[in-house]
Amino acid sequence: MSTASVNDSSLPPVTKPASHWLWVAVSTPAHSSVSEPLSYLSDAPIAPGTLVRVPLGRREVLGVVWDAPPDGAVPDLPEGVTPRSIAGVLQGVAPLDASWRRLTAFTARYYQRALGEVALAALPPQLRDLTPEQMARRIQRKTRKKKDMAGVASAAIHPTPAPVALSDEQRRATLQIEAEDGPFLLFGATGSGKTEVYLHSVQRALEADPRAQVLVMVPEINLTPQLEARFLERFAPVYGDEAVVSMHSGMTSAQRLKSWLAAHTGEARIVLGTRMAVFASMPQLALIVVDEEHDASYKQQEGARYSARDLAVWRGREQQAKVILGSATPSLESWHASRSPSTDDPHGGRYLRLHMPSRIGAAELPRVRLVDMGQQPRGAVFSPPLLQAITERVERGEQCLVLLNRRGFAPVLHCKDCGWKSDCPHCSAHQVFHKIDRTLRCHHCGFTQRVPHACPSCGNVDISPLGRGTEQLEEQLAELLRNVITPQRRAARVARIDADTTKAKGALEEQLAAVHSGEIDVLVGTQMVAKGHDFRRITLVAAVQPDGALFSSDFRAPERLFALLMQAAGRAGRDADYIAEQGGNPPEMWIQTWHPEHSLYTSLRRHDYPRFAAEQLQERADAGMPPFAYQALVRADARTQEAAQAFLTAVSERAREAQLPGLDHVFLFPPVPMAVQRVANVERAQMLIESAHRGALQHFLAAWQSVLHAERANHKAVIRWLVDVDPQAI
């Protein structure tokens, strides 16, 4: 334990008698090598989990009182060091319970981050800035508001919502969830009614315990509004509007604090949120639902690089809460963890797999059609068969979705005379051409400039775009469909939804509402519209350029591609009644590819995820990759690539010299540049660490921290380093 202390005479000394030692988790600077928690004095004992304001250097910061060390020893102060006292307690906020503290401590330990960094990042930003006096005033206002609302509240007793008729598959799944402990992997086809299983399980949990709380997580912010609407419709009549709250980074600081306090006090019975919600303080947690559990968005990519899905499973076990992981395309880790017992593997996996292969009602899965682009006209963006299929759908009043996971008009501008390309001056990447505002933008560092009138290298005025983005698809489809007339006797309308068109507040909701109302005939979008959305009128989905991931250096790329395409296909034909009204033409998924015989597409045509997963798992087992091995990445950012790699080489050599614990079971690969090795004029290198034993890897990483801190002092050109445990991209 370290002691927060001063030996600077300019700082005020301790003036009040204080005899109680406290250990407080605070957010210390990254790589400060200060062990945590820090020690402070208090004139009265304070319970662990209490939020306090404490001095740190010349600042006053928020801290969380932590559990005292097992031996209860008084800190041994170095000579000349004066202990400091806490500045105040945030009254009105109940202490964070032991289960929350264990969750944050485990996260910090497993993902190799400082305890205070994780604990304070898990709290709403506004809470970190409030003084005890400001917090007291806020609590008083909230209490008065509750009393006023109670005085005018209706005394009517709300009935339990009428039960929704479940399909046989849904009923079997819900009965197993009620009867077993889990964790559960709900493997359900797109449109099979997984959300209704979630709602039913939530209802059962809340009915079983009048104080029970439920956490429901989705991978992206844009999926929360429609989910919140369904939960409010189901549960607000019984528990009130205040019982359902959301938590995600798109909310204002005041909104996030309000939701956090509602969950912390138990007022919120249901919390909906993105990955950050896994740290919500929910003392009566009874059920956790992780929807689209395969999604890479559950992995944090800054600071503490935690996996919210994995932490949800850990938290469920620790708080004895049931956990449901749901997906039509589960992650291979979850699929492997839910394997059935066999003669070779008598114990099987630790998850219970629940299978729902059929769509609700008479809806059928879309037929997958592969278009061999080698047999199509040269340079065609849309093959004639696909264009004809889109035209026929639009003329019948149906909607189509065109998927291209690349925004902008073109990935790069190019001069044919001298070979110049629109490279970013600050990154080892191209600037993307955005035609709509005539700019070149780097999607890595954000650098933006106007499109040059001529080639900056040779002066040639004939510079042209290479490749395609969603802007270009939108423009070309609008031109190709300009003479297509819908049953409403109007021209076909094409719209685009991607990160560029949804920047403004409320823009995404407005565009999705236009799709749902039928104002849009063809929707062009990136992966943000390919998953989770319940489009009732879309009957055709087309993937234009999916082949890039087939031959990626990242071993997870095929898994991500299969999930994206299968999830996109699931947007088509979700409403059997609508399909029947339109004449019964089956929904379709079109894929334009140069490799139609690839095994990934063979499995996709059959909607056969188990076959795809079996092939991928066999490849990974043969290569010794996750989930059959455990990995961590150490990344170094420096002023030069040589300095970054030199640092990684040095810490690797120091680890071998010191014979760190676990080293015999760990393999350290040589450092290499990252795929995009320079971002914002910072060079980046990485080194992979791999082990067949999770425990050995963790022991090694924990012992290696001191080496990393010490070696940093010998490499002045290194700006920062970080450890990424269980990386999702290599």
Condensed to tens digits (0 to 9), the pLDDT of residues 330-383 reads 999 999 999 998 888 888 899 999 999 988 877 788 999 999 999 999 888 899
Residue 250 pLDDT greater than 60, yes or no = yes
What CA–CA distance (Å, rounded) separates 392 from 394? 6
Q: What is the pLDDT of residue 6?
A: 40
Q: Left, alpha or beta for 137 (phi > 0: left; psi -120 to 50: alpha)?
A: alpha
What is the structure's pLDDT at 497? 92
Average confidence (pLDDT) over 36-40: 87
Q: What average pLDDT does range 419-444 have in this prediction? A: 94
- Tens of pLDDT, residues 299-345: 999 889 999 999 999 999 999 999 999 999 999 999 999 999 888 88
Write b or e for each residue in 340-353: b if 16 or more Cβ atoms lie within 10 A of its Cβ, otherwise e. Answer: eeeeeeeeebebbb
* The pLDDT of residue 361: 77
pLDDT tier, 161 (very low <50, low <70, confident <90, very high otherwise) = low
Q: Annotated binding residue at 400?
A: no
Average confidence (pLDDT) over 49-60: 91
Pairing relationship of beta strands 367-372 and 588-593 according to DSSP bridges: parallel
Query: Which pLDDT belongs to residue 295?
Result: 93
Q: Are 373 and 593 in contact (CB under 8 A)?
A: yes
Closest CA to 322 of 233, 229, 198, 211: 198
In the structure, what pLDDT confidence band is assigned to residue 505 with cuts at 50, 70 and 90? Answer: confident
Angle at which helices 98-110 and 308-318 cross, to 10°: 140
**pLDDT reported for residue 143:** 58
Please state, for a pLDDT cut of 90, what percent of the chain lies above it. Answer: 66
Residues 6 or more apart whose CB falls under 8 angstroms from that of 25 comprise 36, 37, 38, 63, 64, 66, 104, 115, 116, 119, 120
Using DSSP's 3-state secondary structure scheme, residue 67 falls into: coil
Record the tokens describing residue 42, joined without a space: 């208090």
CA distance 306 to 164: 36
Q: Terminus-to-terminus CA distance in the chain, angstroms?
A: 35
Pairing of strands 630-638, 718-725: antiparallel
Contact 498, 374 (CB under 8 A): no
Q: Please state, in angstroms and as integers, the Cα–Cα distance from residue 69 to each residue in 65, 74, 111, following that order.
A: 12, 9, 22
Map out the domains of the chain with their CATH numbers: 2-134 (3.40.1440.60), 168-340+348-356 (3.40.50.300), 367-408+469-622 (3.40.50.300), 630-725 (3.30.70.100)
Peptide bond into 425 cis (omega under 30): no
Q: Per-residue confidence at 170, pLDDT binned at 50, 70, 90? A: very high
Q: Grade residue 72 by pLDDT with cuts at 50, 70 and 90.
A: low
Cβ neighbours, 10 Å, residue 608: 13
Alpha carbon separation from 152 to 145, 159, 235 (Å, rounded): 11, 20, 21
Rounded mean pLDDT of 579-601?
A: 91
pLDDT recorded at residue 3:
52
> What's residue 10's pLDDT?
43
For residue 2, what pLDDT is reported?
Answer: 52
The string of pLDDT tens digits covering residues 657-695 is 999 999 999 999 999 999 999 999 999 999 999 999 999
The per-residue pLDDT for 18 is: 55
Whole-number pLDDT of residue 156: 39
Position 151 scores a pLDDT of: 44
Predicted confidence band at 159 (pLDDT cuts at 50, 70, 90)?
Answer: low
User: Taking all residues of the chain, what is their mean pLDDT, rounded to a whole number?
Assistant: 89
Above 90 in pLDDT, residue 31? no
**Predicted pLDDT at 155:** 36
Is the Cβ–Cβ distance between 47 and 95 less than 8 Å?
yes
Q: Which residues neighbour 112 within 8 Å (Cβ) at sequence distance 6 or greater?
A: 632, 701, 702, 705, 723, 725
Alpha-carbon distance of 573 to 555, in angstroms, equals 32
Q: Which of 440-449, 569-578, 683-692 has the lowest mean pLDDT?
A: 569-578
Res 578 pLDDT > 90: no
What pLDDT is attached to residue 138? 73
Q: What is the pTM (predicted TM-score) of this model? A: 0.90
3-state secondary structure of 697: helix
Q: CA-to-CA distance for 406 and 525, rounded, in angstroms?
A: 9
pLDDT for 612-624, tens place per residue?
999 999 999 999 9
402 φ/ψ angles, rounded to the nearest 5 degrees: -110, 125
467: left (phi over 0), alpha (psi -120 to 50) or beta: left
442 is in an annotated binding site: yes
pLDDT of 9 > 90? The answer is no
Both tokens assigned to 445: 């560092």
Would you state the pLDDT for residue 562?
96
pLDDT tens digits for range 73-102:
777 766 767 888 999 898 889 999 999 999
Closest CA to 633 of 551, 726, 710: 726
Q: Residue 532 — very low, low, confident or very high, per pLDDT cuts 50/70/90? A: confident
Say which DSSP state 372 is in.
E
Q: What pLDDT sits at residue 558? A: 94
pLDDT reported for residue 8? 42
